[in-house]
C-alpha cells in the first residue's frame, strides 16, 4: 500500500476507484487537488463482502489522517443504480447487487455516492480541466471503450443510471464480435483488445515482420497491444497502419456522437491515450471526414484527457461533495 500527500484548505471528500487490478482511494479537495492516496490490489475473491472490507479499510486509513472529510464518493465499472448506490453488475468481478452506498454510510456516518467509473471521470474532466466544459463526452480507450456524458454541466445517466454505454454503440454492423456478444461495437474495433487482435493477425500474416519479432521476446511469445505500440514507435509501417485503422474507427464513433449532441469537445482518456497522435491524429481526421454539416455545425474538437489514473478518484470525490449536505437523502432528479 502506498500513500502520498500534503495538506491544503477547502472542503474535502474521499474518492474511491474500484478497478479490475487495484482499488485506489484519495482525499481530494473540491478544486481537484489530491491530498493523500492509498492503493490496494483488487482481491482475487471479488465478492461483495471481501470488497467491502477493502473499501472500508482504505476509507478508515484516509480518514484517520484527514478527519475533516465530509463525504465519500465511489466510482466502479459496470451497471450502477446511482440513486440507490447499488452496483448491479460489473465485468470480471464476482459481486452482484452490491449495496455499496448503504454499507459505507452505515460504517462511516458520511454521506456516500456511487456511480459508474466513466461517469465520475467525465465529471472530473468537465469540472476541472482548463477549459471547463459544459457539454462534453469522455471516451476512455483501454482494454475496452467506456464513456461518460456531461450535458449542461451535469452527468447524463438516463432514467435508471444505465445510459452512456458508448463503447457498445454499433459502428461496424457484422464486424468483429465484442465481449458483450454483439458484433461491430465501437469497443470491438477501437480498443486495446481490438489492437491486440489486429496485431496477432498482422504477425500471422508476416512472421518475419517487426510485430512478430517483438512478440517472440514477450514472456508468452504472444502479440499484445503493447507489442504493436512498441513496433509503431519504432516506425514499423504495419503497426502504424493498425493504429490508423484503430483511430479511424474511434473517429467514426466520435462523429456519430457529435451528430447526436452539440458538444464543446470529445475528450479521449484511458491507457491508449498515452500513444498520443498515433491514436488521436487518425481519430481527428475521421471525425472531420464523417462530421454532419461541418460548414454549419463545425467539427467537434477531440482533446486528450487532462487527468490520468486519478480521474476516477477525483471525479468520485467531486460527486460525494455535490451531495455532502444530503446526509443519506436520495438525490433529486437531475442532480449531478
Give the residue extent of every domain in the chain.
3-123+309-322, 131-304
Q: Is the pLDDT of residue 326 over 60?
A: no
Q: Is the pLDDT of residue 244 over 50?
A: yes
Average pLDDT over residues 78-96: 85
CATH superfamily of 3-123+309-322: ATPase, nucleotide binding domain (3.30.420.40)
Pick the CATH number of 131-304 from 3.40.50.2000, 3.20.19.10, 3.40.50.1820, 3.30.420.40: 3.30.420.40
Q: How many CB atoms lie within 10 A of CB 138?
A: 30
Q: What's the confidence (pLDDT) of residue 95?
A: 86
Question: pLDDT tens for residues 117-166?
Answer: 999 999 999 999 888 899 999 999 988 899 999 999 999 998 877 789 99
The residue among 93 and 325 whose pLDDT is bigger is 93
CA-CA distance, 134 to 27, in Å (whole number)?
25
Tell me the percentage of the chain whose pLDDT exceeds 90: 76
What pTM, to 2 d.p., does this model score?
0.86
CA-CA distance, 215 to 220, in Å (whole number)?
8
Average pLDDT over residues 250-268: 97
Range list of β-strands (E), 226-288: 265-269
Q: What's the confidence (pLDDT) of residue 325?
A: 66
Q: Is the pLDDT of residue 290 over 70?
A: yes
Q: 72-76 and 12-18 as β-strands: parallel, antiparallel, unpaired? A: parallel
Q: Is the pLDDT of residue 182 over 70?
A: yes
Q: Is the pLDDT of residue 2 over 50?
A: no
Q: What's the confidence (pLDDT) of residue 9?
A: 62
Q: Is the pLDDT of residue 239 over 70?
A: yes
Phi, psi of 29 (to 5 degrees): -80, 160
Which pLDDT band holds residue 53 (cuts at 50, 70, 90)?
A: very high
Average pLDDT over residues 285-297: 97
The residue among 273 and 221 whose pLDDT is bigger is 273
Average pLDDT over residues 299-307: 94
Q: How far is CA 322 from the centre of its chain?
A: 20
Average pLDDT over residues 42-52: 89
Q: What's the confidence (pLDDT) of residue 221?
A: 82
Dihedral, 107, 159, 79, 245 alpha carbons, nearest 10? -140
Question: Are the folds of 3-123+309-322 and 131-304 the same?
Answer: yes
- What share of residues in the chain are helix, strand, coil (percent, to 5)? 40, 20, 40
Which of 35-44, 158-167, 254-263 has the lowest average pLDDT?
158-167
List all residues 6 or more positions away from 176 whose beta carbon is below 8 Å from its beta carbon.
Answer: 183, 184, 188, 189, 194, 197
Mean pLDDT of the residues in the chain: 91
Phi, psi of 68 (to 5 degrees): -80, -5
Tell me the percentage of the chain whose pLDDT exceeds 70: 93
Q: What's the confidence (pLDDT) of residue 92?
A: 67
List all residues 6 or more positions away from 277 whose beta carbon is below 8 Å from its beta carbon.
Answer: none
Q: In what order do the strands lie in the sheet with 154-156?
A: 154-156, 145-151, 136-141, 265-269, 302-304
Q: Is the pLDDT of residue 41 over 50?
A: yes
Burial of 84 (0-12, 13-18, 19+ CB in 10 A): middle
Q: What's the confidence (pLDDT) of residue 308?
A: 83
Q: What's the confidence (pLDDT) of residue 327?
A: 46
**Nine-digit cell string for 217:** 521476446
Q: 22-29 and 12-18 as β-strands: parallel, antiparallel, unpaired? A: antiparallel
Tell me which DSSP letter residue 240 carries.
H
CA-CA distance, 175 to 172, in Å (whole number)?
5
Q: Is the pLDDT of residue 6 over 60?
A: no
Amino acid at each position: 500500500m502506498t500513500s502520498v500527500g500534503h495538506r491544503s484548505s477547502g472542503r474535502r471528500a474521499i474518492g474511491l476507484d474500484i478497478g479490475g487490478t487495484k482499488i485506489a482511494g484519495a482525499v481530494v479537495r473540491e478544486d481537484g487537488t489530491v491530498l493523500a492516496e492509498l492503493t490496494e490490489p483488487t482481491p482475487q475473491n471479488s465478492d461483495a463482502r471481501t470488497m467491502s472490507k477493502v473499501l472500508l479499510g482504505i476509507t478508515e486509513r484516509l480518514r484517520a489522517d484527514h478527519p475533516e472529510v465530509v463525504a465519500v464518493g465511489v466510482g466502479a465499472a459496470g451497471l450502477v443504480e446511482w440513486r440507490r448506490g447499488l452496483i448491479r453488475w460489473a465485468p470480471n468481478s464476482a459481486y452482484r447487487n452490491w449495496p455499496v452506498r448503504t454499507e459505507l454510510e452505515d460504517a462511516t456516518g458520511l454521506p456516500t455516492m456511487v456511480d459508474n467509473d466513466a461517469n465520475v471521470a467525465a465529471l472530473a474532466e468537465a469540472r476541472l480541466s482548463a477549459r471547463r466544459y459544459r457539454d462534453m463526452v469522455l471516451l476512455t480507450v483501454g482494454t475496452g471503450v467506456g464513456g461518460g456524458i456531461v450535458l449542461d454541466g451535469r452527468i447524463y445517466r438516463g432514467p435508471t443510471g444505465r445510459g452512456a454505454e458508448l463503447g457498445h454503440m454499433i459502428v461496424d454492423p457484422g464486424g468483429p464480435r465484442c465481449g458483450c456478444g454483439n458484433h461491430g461495437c465501437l469497443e470491438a474495433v477501437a480498443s486495446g483488445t481490438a489492437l491486440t487482435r489486429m496485431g496477432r493477425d498482422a504477425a500471422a500474416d508476416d512472421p518475419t515482420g517487426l510485430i512478430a519479432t517483438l512478440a517472440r521476446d514477450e514472456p508468452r511469445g504472444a502479440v499484445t497491444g503493447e507489442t504493436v505500440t512498441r513496433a509503431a514507435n519504432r516506425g514499423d509501417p504495419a503497426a502504424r497502419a493498425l493504429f490508423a485503422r484503430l483511430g479511424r474507427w474511434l473517429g467514426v464513433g466520435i462523429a456519430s456522437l457529435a451528430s447526436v449532441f452539440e458538444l464543446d469537445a470529445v475528450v479521449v482518456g484511458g491507457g491508449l491515450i498515452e500513444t498520443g497522435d498515433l491514436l488521436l491524429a487518425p481519430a481527428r481526421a475521421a471525425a472531420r471526414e464523417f462530421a454532419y454539416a461541418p460548414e454549419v455545425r463545425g467539427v467537434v474538437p477531440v482533446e486528450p484527457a487532462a487527468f490520468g489514473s486519478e480521474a476516477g478518484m477525483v471525479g468520485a470525490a467531486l460527486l460525494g461533495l455535490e451531495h455532502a449536505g444530503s446526509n443519506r437523502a436520495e438525490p433529486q432528479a437531475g442532480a449531478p
